[in-house]
Structure 1
Amino acid sequence: MSQSTNEDTTVTGTTEEALARKNWLLVVLFSALTIVGVVLSTGLLNLGLVEASAPSGVAVPFYIYLYASLGALGYIFTKLMIDVESYDQTTEIGRLIELGMRIPLAWVLGAGTYLLANPLLGSAAPTSSQFTAGFAFLVGLYVNVAMKSLGDLADRLLGRGERS
């Protein structure tokens, strides 16, 4: 009886490992798609997908991604410095990867806030590159706050009411 239990555990363990590998492949795929999106949105490849040269162009300047990344890294290093002892074991790789996933999320949120600044704020939107870079840094530093704020904004724009 105990032998069949060991066999069941081995089969289940193998299945769980296969599912975990598929999950990580999806994380890699999502990260790769984010990188492709960053490259395309900057207009660097000049594929005609974004209007980089037009005055009303939709290209996102590369510095937005740079400063959003630096903001996310600022959060990551702050989190590590506060509780560095809890990250010194190999079993904590999931928590470290979770922290690292803030960087591509900061890219997406930084680009979105950059693109929405003029349409939502109109002429009140600061046009200074220093301001937009600083704002991208804050979006990267406070990814959770940016996600909640953008979600609330989307709810109001779509007429759904506020989230709880």
Structure 2
Amino acid sequence: MDAGTLVPQAFAVGAGWDVGGADDGAASDGHGRQQGQLKPGDQVTGTIWRRTIVALSKDGVRQHTSEAPRDELQMNAALGLLAGLLAALTFVFGAVRLVRPRSPEPFTWDPYGRRMLITVLSACFGAGLLTVWAGIPWPTVPAVVVPVVAYAAGVMYRGLHHGVAGRT
């Protein structure tokens, strides 16, 4: 058996076990509500990961420890969105080069491309890290990043198109 494999096993709670940590033996439904006490002799299902019990379950109620593995899809969403936005950015810049090979401005690396790259990187990693740290679900990442990048692209394009922003 791999040390990183989750293994649910049924067992009886033994005397002297600290099954609840700060909750004094109470199982929680994940919303902070207490769902009864675990007593010695109670039949529970424990999930073992890397030789440590990381979750207890009794009557459909689960209590997890902080060591339980989590699916943190927020950064996966952020990296996937980063790849998609970079692909879209590359497509737009390439299409402009094909359509207008002699005058691709303002769709050049300096200054629009560099600014868009920094915007996309900052928005994706910023939103991804903030949602991981705050525990916000992963669908929030594209819901925040796409409008931010679209708005920034519009503001930069208008600024470059009307000559407001100078070259850096």
Structure 1 length-normalised TM: 0.32
Q: Would you tell me which structure has more helix in proportion to its own residues? A: 1
| Max Rg structure | 2
- Greater relative contact order (CA < 8 Å, ≥ 6 in sequence): 1
| TM value normalised by structure 2 | 0.31
